Chains A and B, each alone.
Chain A
Amino acid sequence: MSLRIVVTVKYVPDATGDRHFADDLTVDRDDVDGLLSELDEYAVEQALQIAENADDAEVTVLTIGPEDAKDALRKALSMGADKAIHVEDDDLHGTDAIGTSLVLAKAIEKAGFDLVVSGMASTDGTMGVVPALVAERLGVPQVTLLSEVSVEDGTVKGRRDGDAASEQLQASLPAVISVTDQSGEARYPSFKGIMAAKKKPVESWDLSDLDIEAEEVGLDGAFTKVEAANERPARTAGTIVKDEGEGGKQLAEFLASQKFI
């Protein structure tokens, strides 16, 4: 039986761009170019490796996002994923983590799955909670923040490097995993991959396809509210000296003046 892998990927504003908030205090997606979150490239990579090591597997990439989020799906398809699902609905604008996990879980169930692979965090929201929430909703094991992962005989194993210890984890499929940027460099799409991706199927679903009411998601359904967003004042220009042999001593003098020594 084929191993059905669903990879959740997010389309995010480029972190090196000048990111802002829109008037409704959601992330402004108009002024900065978007792209497949770099941290989700690692998820696509591990999903492809797991699929390559399985007898028979199918990798579906799933995103919730605006029209342009198709670019993220295309990138994942050109890396080698088999097909894509785009959940797009105007009512999704402003959805928070709890709502995102609802939509992802419904879409994953509709698609059918044995393994869900997510990134460690999105590069815009950086919450790192969606995979745990999706596991909770699907009622399957959460095997998250893995720096190393393998799947064999219906069992997923991996290494989670925590603050206090490094742990070896194990769970039976179906399961939700997330992988870190230590899990292995993501491949670049080949020219062939880019051409092939153009022909791969991308399904579009809206909220009604998932039996979700508009009030459950979006800004209206949100469980949290951003009340103010202010640009951090630029740091006041500091003192910069050129080392002419006394740089270390000058720095020590500064640290002493600030009572660090």
Chain B
Amino acid sequence: MAEVLVYVDHVDGAVRKPTLELLTLARRIGEPVAVALGNGAADTAATLAEHGAVKVLTHDASEYGEYLVVPKVDALQAAYEAVSPAAVLVPSSAEGKEIAARLALRIGSGIITDAVDLEAGDEGPVATQSVFAASFTTKSRVIKGTPVITVKPNSAAVEAAPAAGSVEALSVSFSDKATGTKVTARTPRESTGRPELTEAAIVVSGGRGVNGAENFSIIEALADSLGAAVGASRAAVDAGWYPHTNQVGQTGKSVSPQLYIANGISGAIQHRAGMQTSKTIVAVNKDAEAPIFELVDYGVVGDLFDVVPQLTEEIKARKG
């Protein structure tokens, strides 16, 4: 059976959920061979094996942390040459897309970014994408070279599928371009204890209607009652009420949770671009004409300062 290369996104050996989703999709096309780089690379093997990796290629070097993107491209290319896979799958983070694109160029292949689904096809994998602010769904294929495809978080269910997951050291020699862009300092993001925005099953967002940084505690309380991640519109972020890392939309994160709750958000096209594919959408907005109501499964026309705390209390009461 053909092998499919899967680039592993991990933090010091802890595999992030989108990679496990990629393994599910990779198994539709062939046998997943995972590539894990940097600090803790070998520690990823057990989790990857549990989810279907037949092999885990690992390599650690200080270059991965000290220089931007290119060392990882060199390593992925080395893995590509070692395996000759039928396809290469990479998680659709900002960095993942850049790594994938440079690899595609080097190996003479086409690239598809931000796939939301992947199926095997007679002429190679077919990727589903959501475009024009998710108003269209397209099916595309790479028609030259080995398909390189980046896949968005929440595109498939994580499935256990135990496989050998034998660890092999990957041998990598860095190109002279690898050290071009130096990372001179790194400040890890502080953990909020809440789920990762792009990976969360439920996202609770606040917009301009929240009207102040201090009021975001109302949004956070609702999120915590549901075990949800917190999102924000650009208006709320630009006002300085919530960090940019939590922005949902075209220039923020794109989310596709089971449930999205928009509070005090009008539903501008650039916001919709990042949340329109959510399974169930709920909104609280005091303006009955707000475009967000065109998207909702359930909407409450009302003041979020009344509705949201009541909802939070009711959830807590029901959960006991």
Contact = CB atoms under 8 A, between A and B. Distances in A.
A133 B102 CA distance: 6
A222 B318 contact: no
B281 A235 contact: yes
B303 A231 contact: no
Given A98-B104, A225-B143, A254 B307 contact: no
Contacts of A260: 202, 226, 258-259, 280
Interface stretch (B81-89, B157-165, B178-186): B178-186
Given A129-B113, A133-B105, A248-B313, A227 B139 contact: yes
A165 B145 CA distance: 34
A160 B94 CA distance: 11
A240 B299 contact: yes
Given A120-B251, A232-B130, A250 B300 contact: yes
A232 B135 contact: yes
A232 B137 contact: yes
Contacts of A21: 136, 138
B140 A224 contact: yes
Interface residues of B, number: 90
Given A132-B102, A133-B105, A168-B184, A97 B303 contact: no
B288 A242 contact: yes
B302 A255 contact: no
What does DSSP make chain A's interface, helix, strand, loop or mixed?
mixed
Question: Chain A interface: which size bin?
Answer: 35 or more
Q: Which 5 A-B pairs have the closest CB atoms?
A: A243-B302, A248-B310, A223-B110, A141-B180, A129-B101
Interface of A: 15-16, 19-21, 25, 39, 96-98, 101, 120-121, 123-124, 126-129, 132-133, 136-137, 139-145, 147, 157, 160-172, 175, 180-182, 222-232, 235, 238-243, 245-252, 254-256, 258, 260-261
16 contacts: A15-B270, A136-B106, A139-B177, A142-B68, A142-B70, A166-B186, A168-B183, A168-B185, A224-B111, A224-B112, A235-B281, A241-B298, A252-B315, A254-B282, A260-B202, A261-B315
